[in-house]
Structure 1
């Protein structure tokens, strides 16, 4: 009986010990899992990525390294590529990531950081557009220690911008038809700009197409003889610039930094500078009624963009130069400053019957623009005007392009 009791007690002790051991093991697993969890895939949104890794251990170590630089660092698995992405910021709105992107790329170590957009699904609505995505992985606990071998093991090298650019080149070369979308922002502020983009084939000076920002232009590469397309954005108040898009995948890496793919659509991001002292810009989208100093209604947008520039730069002074197609005299309808109606010819019936010179007409047109700017609150002493008539024509007045001689130019006198 005594032996039976001893065996019973020994068995009980062993069972209790085993249960305790299992419980302790499960407790350790639970502790590990609550520290951080990795989702099966990155959630829809925009990420500021600093490194991409094939192995989770390397992604984790690099995340700890980035966190050691005083940055918020996380990593997550993206099923679309099969890699782990290390990122410092995430949001559903691309605009929210842009500012952080500019700041991070200004640092030497993270100068190759890039913006990654994980495609969403139908369940993602616009109501979530301004909400920050939850962190995919909590920062590592400061009390966690790495072994010497782990601490000194260098992380796998992040995917370089050169590799990313190479993939863009390869994809562009494979596409017989290009779908191009253009975006423009103001240099320094990154504010979106509404611009008109002209796409030109330089070899034949052929106009391939013209679209506004965020519109898609389709280009059949088989119909383009040149190896490069010239991208020329125009926005009033901004310097003229030209971007070259190589169709054969060549050219410098700096060009490819401006290019991203959204599915099969090639998106070109362009940064435009405000006009500087000494710059002269033609107001291509400011129109006047024939033989009149009264503007057409479609001039409103461009004139208002000029107002914005002058409001943005309160010390800027400009000079408006008026030009006509040739010289001569004739009767004209004039704008009546008292009416404050800048765009209606019928309500500005006053005309000069005895004949007015082309120089006078071009001067009156610049005066109409000046009156409009003053009407919008711009001080008149910031605006000079001059009419040139047909003295500075761009094209002969008997050619199809002669209509472009009728124009107003902005000269920046002072910033």
Structure 2
């Protein structure tokens, strides 16, 4: 892809991971409500800004927690917490315990103490409280700062809160497979300049709201790279969007993006497929692009591919690797640990992608792998973007 996303990752040493039987669940919470209807409204608001939230009851305190992720891996929870804060949910926090009508609680189900936090730059507004009690000195708000409902049980009300219409105009980025006219599932990046890598990400074929850009020309720049298709982009003037795309008032402004399939000889850079440090285990955010690759292979059985694994640096290291039947997306005490070369690690990473495809029904005979080690860096191995050298590229060998 043309855009490269630098994601700060947290590696949890296996020697400090408790047994699975002792692990609790970590929830990345973006809102807490006394009234269920308000929790549902806030969840629906999160969906309008492309955050896949859900909610559940904390029966100990009789509050509804709106959350975006539940995981047994503390490092994964804090990775996602940081992303939520970057996307505007500044009051997001991590709850350790259980949620649901029948959840069992004990004195161990408390918020993570300061000493237990991973070494990451969390927002100073992050709230960590005892026993999962939500902060009572701040109102529940949406990401635009508009009050939704009071968190304090003493001031909470059962009066329904009017759903707030998102600011801006409604748009839909229509992703279309140019060869068959079918909708394509994927994400678009909306930028204020073609010289920046800061973007807003939105799902294609869904209604999203955009406000006017801050640049002088009033233009939004749109790029799209769905795995299996050639990159595509467009530019539009925000003020004239209704006229340009012939949208009536209160209707979506539909911006079509016709995608062209990759062909033999093309390379696909899977920029969002990330690994835990010195491992072949995917970080949770890798799933979207992996599933896009699955969709490409399932839709067209004529595709054959070669997966090229890469590492940052060529030095030997201790490698943490999966064994058969383990979770592709989480560190586990049962993961194997052994010293190995950069080439070995890069091969294991390519094989992880292959095994994921096979687990989704793709024939293994259509996939070959090659470990490149650290011989082909795309960034300075000692620079701030060095982690992006840890990657897997897809070569189309037949179509």
TM-score under structure 1 length normalisation: 0.50
Partner SS state of residue 374, structure 1? helix
Q: Residue 319 of structure 1 contacts residue 411 of structure 1 at CA under 8 Å; is this kept in 2?
A: yes
The structure with the largest helix share of the pair is 1
Task: Provide the rounded CA distance (Å) in 1 between the counterparts of 2:232 and 2:329.
Answer: 31
2-structure distance, mates of 1:281, 1:262: 39
Quote the residue 1:166 is aligned against: none
CA RMSD, aligned part only? Answer: 2.9
Match of 2:329 in 1: 343
1:362 matched to which residue of 2? 346
- Alpha-carbon spacing, 1:311–1:287, altered in 2? closer, same or farther (3 Å): same
Show the counterpart of 2:211.
219
Question: Alpha-carbon deviation of 1:400?
Answer: 3.0
- Is residue 312 of structure 2 the alignment partner of residue 325 of structure 1? yes
Displacement of 1:202 in angstroms is 3.5
Match of 1:269 among 253, 256, 271: 256
- 2:178 aligned with 1:187, yes or no? yes
Q: Is the 8 A contact 1:209 1:217 kept in 2?
A: no
Number of aligned residue pairs: give it.
Answer: 231
Partner of 2:29: none
- The whole-number CA distance in structure 2 between the counterparts of 1:307 and 1:369 is 10
Q: 1:370 to 1:347 in 2, by over 3 A?
A: farther
Pairwise CA distance, 1:246: 4.0
Partner of 2:282: 295
1:282 alignment partner in structure 2: 269
- Specify every segment of 5 or more residues in structure 2 that has no aligned partner in the other structure, as ranges: 1-166
| Residues 1:243 and 1:382: Cα distance change in structure 2 (over 3 Å) | same
Question: How far is 1:241 from its partner?
Answer: 1.1
Q: Aligned with 1:207: secondary structure?
A: coil
- Aligned residue in 1 for 2:358: 374
Please say if residues 192 and 220 of structure 2, whose CA atoms lie closer than 8 Å, have aligned partners that are also in contact: yes
* 1:130-157 CA-partner distances (Å, limit 9, x unpaired): xxxxxxxxxxxxxxxxxxxxxxxxxxxx
Residue 383 (structure 2) pairs with residue 394 (structure 1) = no
Taking the aligned partners of 2:317 and 2:282, their CA distance within structure 1 comes to: 18
Q: SS of the counterpart of 1:242?
A: strand
Q: Which has the higher contact order (CA 8 A, sep 6+)?
A: 2
1:413 aligns with 2:361: no
Are positions 1:307 and 2:307 aligned together?
Answer: no
The worse-fitting range, judged by mean Cα deviation, of 208-217 and 277-286 is 208-217
Structure 1 portions without partners, runs of 5+: 1-175
Question: Could you tell me which residue of structure 2 aligns to residue 171 of structure 1?
Answer: none
For the residue of structure 1 that corresponds to 2:370, the secondary structure is strand
